[in-house]
Amino acid sequence: MRPLLWLGSSKKDLLALPVDVRKFFGHALDAAQRGEQHGAAKVLKGFGGAGVLEIVEDDSGGVARLSKEEQTRY
């Protein structure tokens, strides 16, 4: 399983979201760690194919976005 690297306040920000949104992102991150792509994950435009994925979840409080960079190890 691939490790997650939290940058800045990203983990704290994720934990501040509503429970349902955290669970949604948790499933998406789990899929990414296993080398799979969650159905809600889309390539984030503007990075020139750098392997950055965006996961968007709408809930009653607004829209939450999560970005994840795929890194290739050599």
Tell me the pLDDT band of 15, cut-offs 50, 70 and 90: very high
Looking at the chain, the whole-number percentage of residues with pLDDT higher than 90 is: 5
- Encode pLDDT of 25-34 as tens digits: 899 889 888 8
| Res 35: pLDDT | 84
CA dist., res. 34 & res. 45, Å (int): 23
DSSP string of 32-61? HHTT---TTEEEPTTSSS--EEEEEEEETT
What is the pTM for the complete model shown?
Answer: 0.71
Tokens of 46: 């503007």
| Contact (CB, 8 A) for 55 and 40 | yes
| Res 73: pLDDT | 42
How many DSSP H helices and E strands does the chain contain? 2, 3
